[in-house]
Amino acid sequence: MNYPKRNLSAVYYSVICLAMICLFSAAARAQMKMHVINVGQAEAVLLEFPRHAVLIDAGGEDTFETAVQNRFRRHLLEYLDAFFARRNDLNQTLYSVVVSHPHKDHTKNLRAVFERYTVKHFIEGGGSINASGMDDVRAIRNIVAEKNIAHHRIYARDVKRPSFMRDWSAELLRDSQTEAKFLSAGRRCNDDNNASLVLRVAYQGKSFLFVGDAEIDDKEGRKLGCGGLLSRLLVEEVSFPELVDVDVLKVGHHGSKNGTSKAFLEKVTPQFAVLSAGVPATRSSGRGRFFHAWNFGHPNEIAVKLLEEHTIKTRSTLNVTTMTKPRILIENRPIDKAIYCTCWDGDLVFTVSAAGNLEAPETSN
């Protein structure tokens, strides 16, 4: 068949465009991204790999204000919808949903996530009966049983076993060139923060550490029977000292004073530190009335100061708000170390390129 010449060049042009689009999208997918989604005084982190997506926690600010709760839920779901629209190769499928621990600020929107997307693995560490998010975890246990989703209830005593989560991590390594390793898991603590799942992820030589709401060792924690998980990571039987030396630290416990210590940061030596917390200056809604950053005093000035001393990279100077206890706001305080917070920066996206370059994150504020 003889094609007219003009049509032929249109065909060539289309083929070249298609090839370029394929090349660009393949390059975009040969990356790892860490999305810290702004869900207020709560936490939700999406990890994007070349062929997988993993969600760590699906929290949302938990106040008496329904409009605020709805706003953060809507934002989380819109963010995930936009993500899956861009990554249509993933077919709306999360390889795993990991619950760091059963507190409401980490579980509030779990059900909405499971109702909307396909999930292959549900990973949790159990928790105390009355934990604030345990009703959400129980609801998900029912869903995973009904839908035959793989359910992993993991404990700290098992993490050093060679067979521990082997198939799960092998698939990430094989298909997404990503190393993923749990350094700690459920510990049957009365203080569920210290039973947080601790996950280390590495892609092209760049590493990330997620410690949930793990706390330092203090009298309060010891009274509750489990001691500080951060200290245990360094020195006790769950220790992997070389593995806590990472490039990006997802800072523990929303920047609470008890979520960061000098000894821990000296081992971690982060290039970047990132916090998920609410905006503490929500004074219009009545100080102390609600379950928000003002109430908790996050991010705490002492924790931020420690992070400034130990975070290696810098950022252009930003005026931020921190808090000291009892509930004193420190406003317009400049920082120039690479410390990021959803409370200052909105949504945050860190990217590791296929060549292993890790740049400062993109921020939505």
- CA gap 118, 81 in Å, rounded: 12
Determine which residue in the list 33, 75, 87, 103 makes contact with Zn ion, applying CB under 5 A.
103
**Based on CB atoms, which residue is closest to Zn ion, 192 or 301?**
192
Determine which residue in the list 62, 124, 213, 347 makes contact with Zn ion, applying CB under 5 A.
213
Q: What DSSP state is assigned to residue 344?
A: H
What minimum distance in Å lies between the beta carbon of 34 and Zn ion? 18
**Based on CB atoms, which residue is closest to Zn ion, 28 or 224?**
224
Pick from 52, 121, 122: nearest CA to 87: 52
Pick from 201, 262, 190, 254: nearest CA to 226: 190
184 contributes a contact to Zn ion by CB under 5 A: no
Q: Judged by CB under 5 A, which stretch of 27-35, 73-81, 186-194, 300-308 contacts Zn ion? A: 186-194
Determine which residue in the list 48, 61, 105, 124 makes contact with Zn ion, applying CB under 5 A.
105
193 contributes a contact to Zn ion by CB under 5 A: yes
Pick from 254, 258, 253: nearest CA to 231: 258
**Based on CB atoms, which residue is closest to Zn ion, 73 or 103?**
103
What would you report as the CA-atom Rg of the chain, rounded to the nearest whole angstrom? 21
310 contributes a contact to Zn ion by CB under 5 A: no
Binding letters toward Zn ion, positions 222-251, x by CB under 5 A = ------------------------------
> Can you read off the two tokens belonging to residue 140?
């998900």
Do the bridges between strand 32-36 and strand 348-352 make them parallel or antiparallel, or are there none, so unpaired? antiparallel
**Between vectors from CA 171 to CA 267 and to CA 134, what angle results, nearest 5°?**
70
**Based on CB atoms, which residue is closest to Zn ion, 41 or 96?**
41
- CA gap 113, 227 in Å, rounded: 32
What minimum distance in Å lies between the beta carbon of 59 and Zn ion? 7
Residue 199 CA: distances (Å) to CA of 122, 221, 262, 267 = 14, 21, 20, 16
What minimum distance in Å lies between the beta carbon of 276 and Zn ion? 8
Q: Judged by CB under 5 A, which stretch of 102-110, 170-178, 230-238, 340-348 contacts Zn ion? A: 102-110
The DSSP string of 32-66 is EEEEE---SSS--EEEE-SS-EEEE-------S-H
Binding-site size for Zn ion (CB under 5 A) equals 4
**Based on CB atoms, which residue is closest to Zn ion, 63 or 178?**
63
Give the binding site for Zn ion (CB under 5 A).
103, 105, 193, 213
